[in-house]
């Protein structure tokens, strides 16, 4: 399964649509996300979508404003749309006999508005205990290591993004290709680059499909690199490594609780007692 995401303002241009068509026909994604198109989807001729096999679509809800996020798909899948907001579209898909959730993200540039996004996604993760994949432009970074430029990123924005990730035990997939997915295109000391576009998944997703990769492709007609997420459904599922939430160790009752549990008498063989 391939999923394609591209933040591209120039989708109304013929040259940009030719590039998108070539990328689509090369990678054959099941889902295509377009962010910040700056036009209404009705302005793209229907024959163009049919030429690449796209049959249906959904756009985000911004009231009277133009949508800033599109998701499109063909006849190979029949997703259910379970949530739409101004910053995301969440789909439920049957993949390899498992119901999974894929969220396309185009987050607000305001960290206060992004807090509504983090709250919505946290609520949905709590409602649907299944594999989750988040892909898109989060308009936030985790820290200074994800920005190149003079000024450090805003600490509140980084903290919110990190807290949402940690609270939901999410993993940020490394990107093959360019690490920084957006650049202002300026030279020298005026250049700023950020890792805004990425793929994130939960533990259930990684346990089911460890061979999930994210690639930032060559940049065309946009200041963002396109993202290609590939899920190898034929990989061997190995036993998941032991992990625990490190912040537990900072809880004042952690040591007491561990000591009490280990001091209990348990009958059986050595492994059973462990």
Query: Does residue 105 contact residue 88 with C-beta atoms inside 8 Å?
Result: yes
Q: What is the pLDDT of residue 172?
A: 97
Q: What is the pLDDT of residue 242?
A: 52
CA distances to 1, 40, 55, 133, 222 from 35, rounded to whole Å, are 20, 12, 18, 17, 11
Say if 251 falls within a structural domain: no
Q: What is the pLDDT of residue 234?
A: 63
pLDDT for residue 238 is more than 50 = no
Percentage of the residues of the chain whose pLDDT score is greater than 70: 92
Q: Which domain holds residue 53?
A: 2-237
- In sequence order, the β-bridge partners of residue 183 are 193
Torsion sign over Cα 127, 133, 137, 80: negative
- Each residue of 250-267: pLDDT tens digit? 788 888 888 888 888 776
Q: What average pLDDT does the chain have?
A: 91
Q: What is the pLDDT of residue 272?
A: 53
Question: For the residues of the chain, what is the DSSP string, one character each?
Answer: -EEEEEE-GGGGSHHHHHHHHHHHHHH--SEEEEE---S-GGGS-HHHHHHTT--EEEE---TTSPPSEEEEE-TT---EEEEE-SSEEEEEEEETTEEEEEEEEE--SSHHHHHHHHHHHHHHHHH--S-EEEEEE-S--SSGGGEESSSPPPHHHHHHHHHHHHHTTEEEPPEEE-S--EE----GGG--EE--EEEEEEHHHHHH-S-EEEEE----SSSB--EEEEE-TTS--PPPPP---GGGGGSTTHHHHHHHHHHS---S-HHHH-
d(CA 36, CA 39): 8
Higher pLDDT, 236 or 46: 46
Say if 90 falls within a structural domain: yes
Higher pLDDT, 189 or 35: 35
pLDDT for residue 176 is more than 90 = yes
- Each residue of 91-127: pLDDT tens digit? 999 999 999 999 999 999 999 999 999 999 999 999 9
pLDDT for residue 69 is more than 80 = yes
pTM of the model: 0.83
Number of domains in the chain: 1
Q: What is the pLDDT of residue 150?
A: 84
Q: What is the pLDDT of residue 232?
A: 86
Say if 39 falls within a structural domain: yes
Q: What is the pLDDT of residue 252?
A: 81
- Each residue of 144-171: pLDDT tens digit? 999 999 899 999 999 999 999 999 999 9
Rg of the chain, C-alpha, whole Å: 21
pLDDT for residue 243 is more than 70 = no
d(CA 131, CA 207): 9
Q: What is the pLDDT of residue 267?
A: 66
What CATH number is given to the structural domain containing 141? Answer: 3.60.10.10
At residue 10 the predicted structure's pLDDT band, cuts being 50, 70 and 90, is: confident
Higher pLDDT, 256 or 34: 34
- Tokens for 244? 């625990």
Say if 156 falls within a structural domain: yes
- Tokens for 274? 């462990």
Name the nearest CA neighbour of 167 among 246, 256, 78, 57. 246
CA angle, corner 227, sides to 109 and 219, nearest 5? 85
d(CA 229, CA 148): 24
Say if 191 falls within a structural domain: yes
Q: What is the pLDDT of residue 135?
A: 98
- Tokens for 184? 């202002």
pLDDT for residue 202 is more than 70 = yes
- Each residue of 182-194: pLDDT tens digit? 999 898 888 999 9
Say if 265 falls within a structural domain: no
- Each residue of 210-233: pLDDT tens digit? 999 999 999 989 999 999 999 987
Q: What is the pLDDT of residue 250?
A: 77
Q: What is the pLDDT of residue 268?
A: 58
Which are the contacts of 106, defined by CB distance < 8 A and separation ≥ 6? 7, 35, 36, 60, 68, 69, 87, 88, 136, 137, 139
- Tokens for 32? 């295509």
Say if 43 falls within a structural domain: yes
Query: Does residue 166 contact residue 206 with C-beta atoms inside 8 Å?
Result: no
Say if 218 falls within a structural domain: yes
């Amino acid at each position: 399964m391939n999923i394609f995401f591209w933040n591209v303002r120039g989708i109304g241009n013929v040259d940009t649509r030719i590039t998108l068509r070539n990328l689509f026909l090369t990678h054959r994604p099941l889902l295509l996300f377009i962010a910040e198109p700056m036009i209404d989807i009705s302005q793209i001729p229907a024959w163009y979508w049919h030429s690449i096999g796209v049959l249906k679509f959904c756009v985000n809800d911004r009231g009277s404003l133009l949508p800033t996020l599109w998701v499109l798909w063909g006849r190979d899948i029949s997703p259910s749309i379970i949530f739409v907001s101004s910053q995301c579209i969440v789909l439920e898909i049957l993949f390899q006999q498992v119901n999974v959730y894929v969220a396309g993200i185009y987050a607000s540039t305001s960290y206060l508005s992004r807090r509504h996004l983090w709250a919505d996604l946290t609520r949905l993760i709590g409602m649907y205990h299944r594999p989750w994949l988040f892909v898109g432009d989060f308009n936030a970074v985790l820290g200074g290591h994800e920005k190149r430029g003079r000024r450090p990123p805003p600490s509140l924005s980084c903290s919110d993004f990190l807290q949402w990730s940690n609270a939901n035990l999410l993993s940020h997939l490394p990107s093959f290709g360019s690490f920084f997915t957006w650049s202002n295109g300026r030279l020298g000391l005026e250049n700023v680059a950020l890792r805004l576009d990425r793929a994130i998944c939960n533990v259930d997703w990684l346990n089911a499909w460890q061979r999930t990769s994210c690639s930032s492709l060559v940049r065309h007609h946009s200041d963002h690199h396109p993202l290609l997420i590939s899920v190898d459904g034929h990989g061997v599922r190995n036993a998941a490594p032991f992990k625990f939430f490190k912040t537990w160790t900072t809880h004042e009752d952690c040591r007491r609780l561990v000591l009490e549990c280990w001091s209990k008498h348990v009958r059986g063989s050595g492994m059973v007692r462990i």
